[in-house]
Amino acid sequence: MALDPIGAIQGSGGLSVQGVTGTGYLGSTDSVSGTTGAAGGNGFATALTGAVDNLQSLQSTSNQLAVSAVTGNLDDIHKATIAATRAQITMELVSTVRNKGVDAFNEIMRMQA
């Protein structure tokens, strides 16, 4: 299993200006464009769903490597450590993006009232 450098969060593996893209951190999903109205309404949900799906796969990989490390079947403990850290950072990023989306929604609802 090849490991990507952690610095790849910018550009090819993280949250870009056009949406959630990546090669291992948040996964490739539809881009969230700047459009408004009914056409752009599902972009955030689609991006967040893709990010959660990839998060689940990262956590699964982390759990498998942790079990391998505990049972002594893992030669390089760094793989388990990096997988666990990657899953943790991705979880924090997805959680933060979700929270900011909810905050923005609540602010819009407050402005309409």
Element spanning 56, H or E = helix 43-71
Structure tokens at 70: 């505990």
Domain spans in the chain, listed from the N-terminal domain onward: 12-112
DSSP 81: H
- Identify whether the C-beta of residue 86 lies closer than 8 Å to the C-beta of residue 93: no
Mean pLDDT of 38-65: 86
Confidence of residue 46 (pLDDT cuts 50, 70, 90): confident
Mean pLDDT of 73-95: 94
Element spanning 51, H or E = helix 43-71
Helices and strands of the chain, counted as H and E runs: 2, 0
Question: For residue 2, what pLDDT is reported?
Answer: 54
Mean pLDDT of 10-19: 37
Give the predicted TM-score (pTM) of the model: 0.60
- Identify whether the C-beta of residue 27 lies closer than 8 Å to the C-beta of residue 16: no
Does 44 have pLDDT greater than 90?
no
